[in-house]
Structure 1
């Protein structure tokens, strides 16, 4: 599914199950030594996907350890993103010479729990979500917005190395499967210009919502 959202510069791997042959480096095993089974399976399968994706761009397997704020540490010269939710795990990678940053997120195609929407949205975003929900109630627009903000953060952090809260990005979703994020926090310079926005794509299909951002060099 996720390939429908990605440019050709990126390699990907996704799965709806936890393969029994998925494995971890000793350093990775130590990270989740005290984790519950659900967390262990998510962590392991996401890295199984990441190593399969890395192989597609000619990068050998290496430990992918959580770093600052939990962001995965990728091999030198690689950008990437991982995601997992109930019944889905995926990873996307690319060479830094071809991709500046990437962020992906997957969520169940279901409404957000009560109270979450107001916690993750700006006042200006809520009427847009309401209008989209009226125009097409078959889509859970609140969950798409939440997922898109997660993708924004995952694309932002490797560049800025700073926290970006839900309140720091103003998102506009379009019914054509795209979204735009206007950053409300001062970002670093990227290719000689301040980072002020991201554009991305979303997909709702087969019980899942997937969002993705890929920023390519000019």
Structure 2
């Protein structure tokens, strides 16, 4: 499903269902050494997706440890993103000489709780969704889009970006995100979204200038 929202040149891998047991590299172990078994299993499963995607770029058996900020540390010359939600996990990677950043996100296809929606969406964003089909759960799509924006933003800037700093407008399977802070070479990002199999997925691949 994640490949539906990614452009050519970005490699991805995904897995649905319970996490399949997967080995960890020694450098990856530190992040989950004291974790509960369920957390460890999910961490390992999403990294197995990352390794599968990296092999498609020609990198065999690469490690993807977590940094001090818990963000994934990709091999030199690679940019990427990982996501996981109950019953689903995915990773997407590309070469850094082609892509400045990649952000993906998956969410359960369900309306946002009102208290979350009030934090995530501005009045203008809420108004833009007011007459859309509730079955599409576009408030959840908008939330996911902002998560994908952050996954592009943070590895470049190493700074916080709040929901209120990003204005997202949804199109037919696409979205435009305007960022109210400086840090990237652009303040407008374009992405894609899809719904299906009980999930919402979004992605942004920012091309290298």
- For the aligned pair, the TM-score class normalised by the smaller chain equals over 0.9
Return the alpha-carbon distance in structure 2 between the equivalents of residues 69 and 119 of structure 1.
23
Gaps of 5+ in 2: none
**Structure 1 counterpart of 2:91:** 91
**Structure 2 counterpart of 1:162:** 159
| Match among 177, 180, 183 for residue 181 of structure 1 | 177
**Structure 1 counterpart of 2:144:** 147
**Structure 2 counterpart of 1:210:** 201
Kindly state the Cα deviation for residue 59 of structure 1 after the two structures are TM-superposed. Answer: 1.4
Kindly state the Cα deviation for residue 23 of structure 1 after the two structures are TM-superposed. Answer: 1.1
Aligned length in residues: 208
Kindly state the Cα deviation for residue 127 of structure 1 after the two structures are TM-superposed. Answer: 0.7
Kindly state the Cα deviation for residue 68 of structure 1 after the two structures are TM-superposed. Answer: 5.0
Q: TM-score, normalised by structure 2?
A: 0.95
Return the alpha-carbon distance in structure 1 between the equivalents of residues 72 and 43 of structure 2.
11
The answer (yes or no) to whether the contact 2:2–2:14 under 8 Å persists in 1 is yes
Q: CA RMSD in A?
A: 1.3
Question: What is the 5 A alignment of 1:1-218?
Answer: 1-17=1-17, 18-20=19-21, 22-132=22-132, 136-174=133-171, 176-188=172-184, 190=185, 195-218=186-209
Gaps of 5+ in 1: none
Kindly state the Cα deviation for residue 141 of structure 1 after the two structures are TM-superposed. Answer: 1.0
Listed one character per residue, the Cα deviations across residues 93-117 of structure 1 (whole Å, up to 9, x for unaligned) are: 0111121110000001011123100
Deviates more, 1:67-76 or 1:165-174: 67-76
Kindly state the Cα deviation for residue 157 of structure 1 after the two structures are TM-superposed. Answer: 1.1
Listed one character per residue, the Cα deviations across residues 143-177 of structure 1 (whole Å, up to 9, x for unaligned) are: 11111100000011122221111111011112x10
Seen in structure 2, the aligned counterparts of structure 1 residues 116 and 23 have a Cα distance that, compared at 3 Å, is same
Q: What SS class does the counterpart of residue 103 from structure 2 fall into?
A: strand
Return the alpha-carbon distance in structure 2 between the equivalents of residues 23 and 199 of structure 1.
35
